[in-house]
Chains A and B, each alone.
Chain A
Amino acid sequence: MSLVAGASRPAAILERGGKFAILALVLAALAIASIGFGSSAMSVGRVLLAVVGEGQRTDTVIVWSLRMPRMLMAALCGAALALAGFALQRATRNALAAPSVLGIVDGAALGVMVFLLLFSNESNALIVSILWQPLAAASGALLFALTVVLLAVRTGAPPLRVILYGVALGALAKAGVTLFMIDGPVHRASQAAVWLAGSVHQARWSDLSTLAGALALLVPLAFLLTRRMDQLELDEQSAAATGLPVRATQLMLFALATCLTAAAVSFAGAIGFVGLVAPHAARLLVGGRAFGQAVAAALLGAAMVTAADLVVRLAFAPLEVPAGAVTAVIGAPYFLFILLRAGRVHA
């Protein structure tokens, strides 16, 4: 409205647009770097040529069969985890909420372990399609998320305590995972150990298409809910007074976050702290309006995991340090930083 700070408006829009453009550029640069670096490095030109299929044959094969799926998997998982964290932070109205903190990631991991255990035959081969694995992850995640929600609703717990329930249940799920790893088939266990730490180095196109399909459903849903998320910035009573069905919205957001987490975790394992850091950094960058923040968070999340995967390959190769370890080393101090300055205004 022109009456209200009208003069600054176009400039502000331009500034925000610029920030999104910069984010997208950073992500693109990371993607190119991620494709370019590896056991044999390629120049930017060669990468681009190979991507469009005009480069040398070997380049094209390496890029399309190995590095592209890995890069895309990192980016998509990062975006999914970031959106999941964003939805949770809005649902609980707490900047400290994230899928890894709320026990959802551990729940998904437990779901996958149980799945591997139930459907493996004597020689450790799966007897059902691997495509069912995301479903198992989602069931585990949903089960634990639901338990956290039920505990919270039953006791009418304030947001901070909801997170502590998540921490507690996460510990339980972790214990279960450990137990299955020791008792399960050895081959599966070592595979699971790498996967649990959060890594994208085994990405395949078939996994990628499943993940992309799930995200094609979930991401639009997330953006449809952004207006409701804006209302949840108010305290619950005020939000309800403006006409928002608060409980229903919170449940929807929880379910959305759980499905997004399960999708990412079932392919890339437990990459921690992305869902925590990306939405919060996005807020600092583009402000608190849900729509813009969601876009920025998804871009940041994608960039974060792509960068972590790049660091792992550059700094530790040929060792397979999981990307999740790198995101944790960045994310944990950031979490403490948020913890130190969490504050809300009361009238």
Chain B
Amino acid sequence: MPDSEKPDRTEIELRRAALGYAGKRVFESLDLSIAAGRLTALCGPNGCGKSTALRAMRATLPAEAGDVLLRGRPISAFPARALAREVAMLTQSPSAPEEMTVEHLVSLGRYAHRRGFSADARADREAVAGALESTNLAHLADRAIGTLSGGQLQRVWIAMVLAQAAPVILLDEPTNHLDIAHALEVLSLVRRLGTEESKTVVVVLHDLNLAARFADEIIFFSGGRVAGSGPVDEVFRRELIEEVFGIECIVRREEASGRPYCIPLAAVPTRRDRLGHG
């Protein structure tokens, strides 16, 4: 279903971007583009820079060199609130006081849309209610977030991101710490955003099979570069996965959905391990 439709518009583009943290470069020169209206999964082994790339797309990590473009405009040219209206992001382990109510937390997503003291304008209230509705949380609106289960809490955070009403949504490991049922629930919700509200969604995912099951496109990172990117069917190949993760595996196709999946077999010792530096 996702493949060959109209030629994709590019939503976000990184050109020769150098990214890293104080004293430690993660990417020397990163090139990638995110197609508009698609669900793109970022995958790769630990420490390959998935989250770094994601943070660069939201400009919470400025590029040390090169360009990060949002619809062709340098992302650094957007004022903070204007950018927040374009790109929303859920960080990896967000936090808030445990006595805060669900509704209050979700309403914080409206920050970039508010002006002065106009307390809870209509559009804001509707956006918050809509976000609670589509994450199936309306009945929990007055609960303190400290009393929620892990899956519910994650839905609240996603609701906050939805309330931000940005066309682009970035999610950093939204299924972290969730059991498989909650993970599926969250990803179905994310999938629905893509199809029903035609949002551009970029999601960092640890689980390859979840990525193959829900994403339109996958970008594989490995050793500070893009090892492969494109529609799931094109990049979800045995050779690429084996190279990126340093494993042996089998890739099969699930018949009902036509989606590929991967069965890992064994870890292949990397050259460094073999030399005894591990």
Contact = CB atoms under 8 A, between A and B. Distances in A.
Interface in A333-347: 343-347
Interface stretch (B140-148, B191-199, B229-237): B140-148
B129 A288 contact: no
Interface stretch (B76-84, B212-220, B247-255): B76-84
A245 interface: yes
B60 A344 contact: no
B13 interface: no
B91 A244 contact: no
Contacts of A289: 104
Contact of A345 (B98, B141, B176): B98
B91 A3 contact: no
B88 A241 contact: yes
Nearest to A231: B111
Interface in A231-246: 231, 233-235, 237-238, 240-245
B96 A234 contact: yes
Contacts of B99: 288
A4 interface: yes
Contacts of A235: 91, 93-96
Interface string A235-275: 10110111111000000000000000000000000000000
B128 A345 contact: no
B85 interface: yes
A240 B84 CA distance: 8
A211 to B, nearest CB: 26
Contacts of A5: 103, 141-142
A227 B104 CA distance: 12
Q: Is the interface of B mostly helix, strand, loop or mixed?
A: helix
A223 to B, nearest CB: 9
Contact of B95 (A240, A288, A344): A344
A1 interface: yes
Given A233-B96, A242-B109, A4 B91 contact: no
A320 interface: no
Contact of A243 (B85, B95, B98, B154): B85
B91 A1 contact: no
A230 interface: yes
Contacts of B126: 1
Sort chain B's interface into a size bin.
Answer: 35 or more
B183 interface: no
B96 A345 contact: yes
Given A1-B129, A345-B95, A242 B111 contact: yes
Given A5-B142, A235-B96, A238-B91, A243 B104 contact: no
A245 B97 CA distance: 20
B84 A243 contact: yes
Contacts of A245: 80
A234 B138 contact: no
A234 B112 contact: no
A242 B100 contact: no
A8 interface: yes
Given A233-B96, A233-B97, A345-B97, A242 B108 contact: yes
Interface in A62-99: none
A240 B60 contact: yes
B164 interface: yes
A233 B160 CA distance: 13
B138 to A, nearest CB: 6
Interface string B22-65: 00000000000000000000000000000000010010100000
A241 B133 contact: no
Q: Which 6 A/B pairs are nearest by Cβ-Cβ distance? A: A243-B84, A243-B112, A241-B89, A243-B81, A237-B91, A1-B125
Given A5-B103, A234-B95, A347-B95, 5 more contacts: A1-B128, A3-B138, A233-B97, A241-B90, A241-B161
Interface of B: 55, 58, 60, 80-85, 88-91, 93-100, 103-105, 108-109, 111-112, 114, 117, 125-126, 128-129, 132-133, 138, 141-142, 145-146, 150, 153-154, 157, 160-161, 164, 176-177
14 contacts: A3-B129, A3-B133, A4-B129, A4-B138, A227-B117, A233-B96, A238-B91, A238-B160, A242-B111, A243-B83, A244-B80, A244-B84, A289-B104, A344-B96
